[in-house]
């Protein structure tokens, strides 16, 4: 049985501005360690000892990003089996449908491991233990998610509530929950029944296709059509823009996972997972020893404590600072108090409304 890893590479990542830009979003940047997020994700797919044959990764990316994808997969030593190019974003349900259809075309019995390009996983063995634990359920036709061990009442993640046990460490999903407020998150944690939803999925290609036929047939039809009319150039598959244009835009969680009958969660997965969703998260990861790719000769810091300071542009000279995040690029500098880095979105929105495309 073949496991086809499909990397979802279309994100924009405005929360990591000013490093992350529309032309080079988060997955193509070195934020934790020297590799880009995508290269680290691809490199992780090298290493599996769970009794399946691992196909070359399929990457689904945005228009104009195929060069960066090839660069990063080459750096990881895992050239793509196929790069599917979306002419525009249509959210993750369309990505899951395309992933299932591509894998099914490759092998009617294929399993798909669908995962984001821009997450950090410190413990790769732990990650594969989680995937391995879900294999039987996936073979049985369950749409399986990885439920990440919730180590705190984080309000930045969705949660999954475990239901009946299917096998040791594998449960039916009782409910998917949107990002909660602090009180609700605390209540979830107290029950011991909740895990974080990392957006990492394992499923038989045919089971996912069947779920789309039942719950989101329009998305499936548009994706089938966009693939059938796609322009193929070597490893590149350019989805047909006309067919893809009218595809409904929905998250796979809502279009499929919350509606499908046989949905399972592997939990708790302990893999040092982090979605690297803010500069605060990066500051924490750096502190935890995950290193920085920023040239240190561009920073002089005197009497600074608990600060993340990096620059790939101007020299940054810092004096007497505490609890700040400072990120400098050639044309923009972010300076923010730690714990407020989510407000970067407000800056990005202000620049959008000012029409400052040069800075986005």
Q: Which stretch binds a second copy (CB under 8 A): 41-49, 75-83, 254-262, 344-352?
A: 344-352
67 or 314: CB nearest a second copy: 314
CB-based contact 196:152 (threshold 8 Å): no
Rounded least distance, CB 347 to a second copy, Å: 4
Of residues 189-248, those binding a second copy (CB under 8 A): none
Q: Is there binding between residue 331 and a second copy (CB under 8 A)?
A: yes
Binding pattern for the stretch 287-306 against a second copy, x by CB under 8 A and - elsewhere: -------------x-xx---
d(CA 156, CA 158): 7
In Å, how far are 68, 84, 110, 304 from 316, measured between CA atoms?
A: 28, 40, 51, 12
Q: Which stretch binds a second copy (CB under 8 A): 167-175, 245-253, 266-274, 337-345?
A: 337-345
168 or 355: CB nearest a second copy: 355
Rounded least distance, CB 29 to a second copy, Å: 18
CB-based contact 270:328 (threshold 8 Å): no
Q: What sign has the CA pseudo-torsion 254, 144, 61, 353?
A: positive
277: preceding bond cis by omega (within 30 degrees): no
Enter the DSSP assignment of 296: G
Q: Is there binding between residue 344 and a second copy (CB under 8 A)?
A: yes
Of residues 17-76, those binding a second copy (CB under 8 A): 18
d(CA 330, CA 122): 30
Among 320, 353, 355, 357, binds a second copy (CB under 8 A): 320
In Å, how far are 101, 347, 352 from 356, measured between CA atoms?
A: 39, 11, 6
Binding residues for a second copy (CB under 8 A)? 18, 300, 302-303, 311, 313-321, 324, 326, 328-337, 340-341, 343-344, 346-347, 350-351, 356, 359
């Amino acid at each position: 049985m073949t496991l086809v890893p499909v990397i979802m590479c279309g994100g924009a990542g405005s929360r990591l501005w000013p490093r992350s830009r529309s032309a080079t979003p988060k997955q193509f940047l070195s934020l934790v360690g020297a590799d880009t997020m995508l290269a680290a994700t691809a490199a992780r797919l090298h290493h599996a000892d769970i009794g399946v044959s691992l196909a070359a990764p399929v990457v689904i990316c945005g228009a104009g990003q195929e060069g960066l994808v090839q660069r990063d997969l080459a750096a990881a030593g895992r050239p793509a089996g196929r790069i599917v190019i979306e002419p525009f974003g249509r959210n993750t349900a369309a990505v899951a449908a395309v992933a299932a259809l591509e894998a099914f075309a490759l092998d009617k019995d294929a399993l798909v491991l669908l995962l984001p390009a821009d997450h950090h996983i410190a413990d790769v063995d732990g990650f594969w233990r989680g995937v391995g634990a879900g294999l039987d359920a996936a073979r049985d036709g369950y749409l399986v998610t990885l439920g990440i061990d919730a180590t705190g009442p984080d309000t930045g993640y969705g949660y999954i509530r475990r239901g009946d046990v299917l096998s040791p460490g594998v449960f039916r999903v009782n409910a998917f929950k949107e990002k909660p407020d602090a009180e609700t998150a605390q209540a979830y944690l107290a029950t011991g029944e909740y895990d974080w939803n990392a957006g990492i999925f394992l499923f038989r290609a045919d089971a996912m296709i069947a779920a789309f036929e039942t719950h989101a047939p329009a998305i499936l039809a548009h994706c089938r059509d966009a693939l059938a009319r796609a322009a193929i150039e070597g490893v590149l598959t350019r989805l047909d823009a006309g067919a893809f244009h009218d595809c409904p835009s929905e998250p796979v969680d809502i279009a499929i996972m919350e509606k499908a009958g046989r949905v399972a969660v592997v939990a708790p997965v302990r893999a040092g997972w982090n979605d690297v969703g803010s500069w605060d998260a990066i500051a924490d990861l750096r502190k935890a020893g995950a290193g920085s790719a920023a040239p240190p000769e561009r920073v002089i810091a005197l009497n600074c404590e608990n600060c993340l300071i990096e620059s790939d542009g101007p020299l940054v000279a810092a004096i007497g600072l505490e609890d700040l995040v400072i990120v400098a690029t050639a044309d923009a500098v972010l300076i923010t108090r730690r714990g407020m880095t989510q407000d970067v979105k407000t800056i990005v929105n202000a620049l959008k409304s000012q029409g400052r495309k040069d800075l986005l």
